[in-house]
Amino acid sequence: MADIRDSPLPLPAHPGTWLSRCAGAWHRTSSRLGLFTRSFLLIALLMLCSLAAWLAVFLAMEIGPRATQMSKRVAASVYLTRTAMTYSTHENRPRMLRELSAHEGLDVYARLAADRVAPLPDQEYWQKVATLLRLYLGAETMIAWEVNTVPGFWVSFQIEDEKYWLAFEREEIGLTSTIEWISWGAAALLLSIIGAAMSVAYLNRPLARLARFAKSVSRGESPPPLPESGAKEIRALNASFNRMAQDLHETERDRELMLAGLSHDLRTPLTRMRLEIELSSATDATLAFIDQDLNQVDQSISKLMEYARAARPQAHTDLDASALLESLIARKRTVLEASGGTLQASIAPQLHVHIEALSLQRIVSNLFENAQRYGCCTDQTPDITIVLREAYEDICLEVSDRGPGIAQTDIARVLRPFARGEMSRTGGVGTGLGLAIVERLSHQAGGSLTLIQRTGGGLTAVVRLPRVKLPASFNAE
C-alpha cells in the first residue's frame, strides 16, 4: 500500500496569502480607475448596502404589525358573516351570501367531515396570523391553506350545529408581493445611483478642472485663472492655485529677462575681446587657445538661453519627423565625416508627430552634440548611430554612441540641469544642459527621454514621442 506522504498533494494556500493577493489585485485595479469612478463606486456600494439593510429591517418589522392587522380584519369578517347569517331567515340566506360574495369578497361554504384540508405553510407570518385568529375566534377554529384542492385562506366558524368555511384571497391577507418589492427596490436603487453620480460629479468637476490647469502650467502655458466660486474649500484651493500660477509666470518672465540681459552684457565684451585679440601681437598658438576659451563661453551662454526658451509653450503641429531627420542627418554626416567620425542612420518613412520643427531640431542637435562630444571610441573618433522607428502608439528616436557611457547610478542625475557624468566631467567642456533641454522639450510634446547602457559599450538616448496616425488613403498614396 502506497504511503500517502509520497503523493504530491497540493497544500491549501494560507488565508493570509489569499487575502494579500486579493488586496493586491484590488489595489492594481483601483489604481487604474479615475477619481470619479472610484468615488462613484464607493458611494454606490454604500448606498446599496444601506438599501439592503433598510429592506431587511423593514421586512422584519412588517411581519408583526401586518399579521395583527390582517388577523383583526379576518376576525371582523368572520363575526360579520356569522352575525348576518344568524339573523337571516333560511329563505333569505342564499341571497345574502351572494351579496357578501359580490360586494365584500366573502365566500361561505359548508364544512363537511369529508373535506380534504391542507395546513398553512410553516412561515412566521402565516403562523402568527393563525395564532392571533385562534385567540380572537377561539381555540377550536380551523385554519387551512387549501380545502378540497381549492387554494385560499380558509377559516372555520359555526352557527349552532351548522359548520362553515369562510374563504379569503391569499393576496389580500399576505405580505407585500415580491414583484412589488423588487419594483420599489429597483426604483430606490436607480435613484440612489443617480444621486451618487450627481454628487460625485459635483465634487469631481472642480478637481478635474484643477488637474487640467495644473497640466497646462507644467507645459509652460498660461491658462486663464480658475473661477473662485463654489464651496469654501474649492474657492480656497482655486485661489491658492491662481496665486501659484501667477507667481510661476512672473518668475519665468523675470528669469528670461535676466538671462537675456546677461547674454547681452556678456556677449558685448566677448565681441570686443575678439577684436582686441585679432589686433594683438600674440602668437598663433596663444590666439587659438584664447579663441577656444571664448567659443566655450559663447556656447555656454547659448545653452543657457536655449534652456530658458525650452520652458515656453509650443503650438504642436503635425510634423513629418522622417523627412526632417533625413535632412538633419545629411548635414550632420558631412560635419562628422570631415572630422574622421562615422554616422549611421535608419529612418522609417512617413512617421508624423505633434511637435514644432524647431523643437525636434533642438532635440536631435543636442543628442548629436552630446554623442559627438562624449561618445568617442578608443581612437578618439565618434561613432554615432541614429534610428527612427515606430513603437506601438509612439515613434522612437534613438541616438547611440560608442563612448565610455554613463554609470547606472548617474543616469537619473545627468538629466538634471548642469549635471554631467563622471566620464564626461573629466574630458568634456559642456555645460550639462543638453540632456535637460532634450527632456524638457520631450515632456512638453507628451513624450519622454530614457538613457540606456548600450550593448558592447556606449550609451543610447531614447526619445519617445506620440505618433500621429495618418489616414489609410494617405498611406496608400
**Measured on CA atoms in the order 158, 162, 163, 165, is the torsion positive or negative?**
negative
| 6: confidence class by pLDDT, cuts 50, 70, 90 | very low
Instruction: Give the CATH number of the domain where residue 396 resides.
Output: 3.30.565.10
| 11: confidence class by pLDDT, cuts 50, 70, 90 | very low
Q: How far apart are CA 340 and CA 377, in angstroms?
A: 12
373 and 288 inside one domain: no
Listed range (284-288, 402-406, 460-464) with the worst mean pLDDT: 284-288
- Does 146 fall in a domain? yes
Asked which of 170, 186, 218 is the last residue of a domain, the reply is 218
Indicate if the pLDDT at residue 434 is higher than 60: yes
User: Is residue 386 a contact partner of residue 411, using CB atoms and an 8 Å limit?
Assistant: no
- Does 442 fall in a domain? yes
Q: How far apart are CA 318 and CA 288, in angstroms?
A: 44
Asked which of 168, 186, 218 is the last residue of a domain, the reply is 218
Instruction: Give the CATH number of the domain where residue 291 resides.
Output: 1.10.287.130
Q: How many domains does the chain have?
A: 3
54 and 180 inside one domain: yes
pLDDT at 233: 81
Identify which has the larger pLDDT, 265 or 339. 339
Identify which has the larger pLDDT, 474 or 264. 264
Mean pLDDT over all residues of the chain?
75
Distances (CA, A) of 110 to 92, 151, 163, 167: 17, 16, 6, 11
Average pLDDT over residues 235-247: 84
287 and 380 inside one domain: no
186 and 85 inside one domain: yes
212 and 275 inside one domain: no
pLDDT at 13: 47
pLDDT in tens, 345-400: 888 888 888 888 888 888 888 888 888 877 776 666 788 888 888 888 888 999 88
pLDDT at 429: 53
299 and 413 inside one domain: no
- Give the residue numbers spanning the domain of 272: 239-313
Indicate if the pLDDT at residue 451 is higher than 80: yes
Three-class DSSP category at 452: strand
Identify which has the larger pLDDT, 266 or 404. 404
Instruction: List CB contacts of 297: < 8 A, sequence separation 6 or more.
Output: 266, 270
Instruction: List CB contacts of 317: < 8 A, sequence separation 6 or more.
Output: 354, 355, 356, 357
Q: How far apart are CA 2 and CA 205, in angstroms?
A: 68
With pLDDT > 70 as the criterion, what percentage of the chain qualifies? 72
Three-class DSSP category at 314: coil
Average pLDDT over residues 157-162: 83
pLDDT at 422: 53
Three-class DSSP category at 319: strand
pLDDT at 64: 78
Indicate if the pLDDT at residue 315 is higher than 70: no
Indicate if the pLDDT at residue 129 is higher than 60: yes
Alpha helices in 32-177, H assignment, sequence order: 35-86, 93-99, 124-137, 170-173
Q: Is the pTM of this model over 0.75?
A: no
pLDDT in tens, 55-98: 776 666 667 788 888 888 888 888 888 888 887 777 777 777 77
Distances (CA, A) of 323 to 147, 319, 351, 384, 400: 94, 9, 9, 19, 20
366 and 436 inside one domain: yes
340 and 197 inside one domain: no
**Closest C-alpha to 199, from 332, 405, 42:** 42
Average pLDDT over residues 36-60: 74
pLDDT at 71: 86
Biggest CA–CA distance in the chain, Å, is 152
Indicate if the pLDDT at residue 5 is higher than 60: no
56 and 168 inside one domain: yes
- Does 4 fall in a domain? no
With pLDDT > 90 as the criterion, what percentage of the chain qualifies? 0
Indicate if the pLDDT at residue 124 is higher than 60: yes
Identify which has the larger pLDDT, 473 or 176. 176
pLDDT at 313: 54
424 and 279 inside one domain: no
